A and B are shown apart, each in its own frame.
With several copies, the nearest count.
Chain A
Amino acid sequence: MTAAIDPTILHEVALTPPEYDRIVELLGREPNRVELGIFGAMWSEHCGYKTSKPLLRNFSSAGPAVLQGPGENAGAVDIGEGWAVVFKIESHNHPSAIEPHAGAATGVGGILRDVFTMGAFPIAALDSLRFGPLDQPRNRHLFGGVVGGIGDYGNCFGVPTVGGEIYFEDCYTENPLVNAMAVGLIRRDRLMRARAEGKGNLVMLVGADTGRDGIHGATFASVELSQDSESRRPAVQVGNPFLEKLLMEACMQLIKEELVVGMQDLGAAGLTSSTVESASKGGMGIEIDVAEVSRREQGMDAYEVMLSESQERMLIIVEPERQNDVLRVFRKYDLHADVIGEVTDTGRLVVRDGERVEADVPVGLLVDEVPYRYPEAHPSPERAAIRAQAIDLTGGPGPAEAFRRLLASPNIASREGVFRTYDHQVQNNTVVLPGGDAAVVRIKGTRRAIAITTDGNGRYTYLDPRLGAALAVAEAARNVVATGARPLAVTDCLNFGNPEKPEVFWELQQAVEGMAEACRELEVPVVSGNVSLYNDTSGVSVWPTPVVGMVGLIEDIAAVTRVGFTSPGDVIVLIGESAEELGGSEYARTVLGTVAGHPPRVNYDLEFRTNDVVLEMINQGFLNSAHDLADGGLAIAVAESCFAGGVGARIDQLKRGDLSPEALLFGETQARYLVSIDPGERRLAEVLATARAHKVSVRAIGVVGGDRIEIGEWISEPLADARAAWEGGLG
Chain B
Amino acid sequence: MAGYTAEVYVVLKPLVNDPEGLVIGDGLRNLGFAGVKTVRSGKYLTIELEADDRAEAEQQVEEACQKLLANPVIEDYRFTVREVSAAT
Contact = CB atoms under 8 A, between A and B. Distances in A.
A101 B26 CA distance: 21
B17 A213 contact: yes
Contact of B73 (A211, A236, A296, A311): A236
A242 B23 contact: yes
B24 interface: no
Main DSSP-derived SS at the B contact region: loop
Interface string B1-41: 00000000000110111110011001000000000000000
Nearest to B38: A296
A240 B41 CA distance: 14
Nearest to A310: B17
Contacts of B71: 99, 101
Contacts of B45: none
Interface string A240-252: 1011000000000
23 contacts: A98-B73, A99-B73, A102-B73, A211-B15, A211-B17, A212-B15, A213-B15, A213-B16, A234-B13, A236-B16, A236-B73, A237-B17, A238-B12, A238-B16, A238-B17, A238-B19, A238-B74, A240-B17, A240-B19, A242-B19, A243-B19, A311-B17, A334-B26
Interface of B: 12-13, 15-19, 22-23, 26, 71, 73-74
A656 interface: no
Main DSSP-derived SS at the A contact region: loop
Contacts of A239: 17, 19
Interface in A66-103: 98-99, 101-102
A233 B18 CA distance: 17
A28 to B, nearest CB: 37
B19 A236 contact: no
Contacts of A242: 19, 23
Interface of A: 98-99, 101-102, 208, 211-213, 233-234, 236-240, 242-243, 296-297, 310-311, 334
A47 B23 CA distance: 33
Contacts, number: 40
B18 to A, nearest CB: 7
B11 to A, nearest CB: 13
B15 A297 contact: yes
Contacts of A102: 73-74
A211 B15 CA distance: 8
B45 to A, nearest CB: 17
A211 B23 CA distance: 16
Contacts of B12: 238
A310 B73 CA distance: 17
Given A234-B15, A240-B17, A99 B74 contact: yes
A212 to B, nearest CB: 5
Given A102-B73, A238-B74, A296-B17, 16 more contacts: A101-B71, A102-B74, A208-B17, A211-B15, A212-B15, A213-B16, A233-B73, A234-B13, A234-B15, A236-B16, A238-B18, A238-B19, A239-B19, A240-B22, A242-B19, A311-B17
A297 B15 CA distance: 8
A237 B71 CA distance: 13
B74 A236 contact: yes
A343 to B, nearest CB: 30
A98 B71 CA distance: 11
Contacts of A98: 73
Nearest to B13: A234
Contacts of A240: 17, 19, 22
A286 B15 CA distance: 29
A153 to B, nearest CB: 11
A158 to B, nearest CB: 16
A242 B13 CA distance: 21
A239 B20 CA distance: 11
A471 to B, nearest CB: 37
A307 to B, nearest CB: 14
Contacts of B74: 99, 102, 236, 238
B58 to A, nearest CB: 24
A99 B23 CA distance: 21
Contacts of A297: 15
B31 to A, nearest CB: 9
Contacts of A310: 17
B77 to A, nearest CB: 16
A238 B71 CA distance: 13
Contacts of A234: 13, 15
Contacts of B22: 240
Q: Lowest 6 A-B CB distances belong to which pairs?
A: A240-B19, A238-B17, A99-B73, A212-B15, A236-B73, A238-B16
A568 B13 CA distance: 54
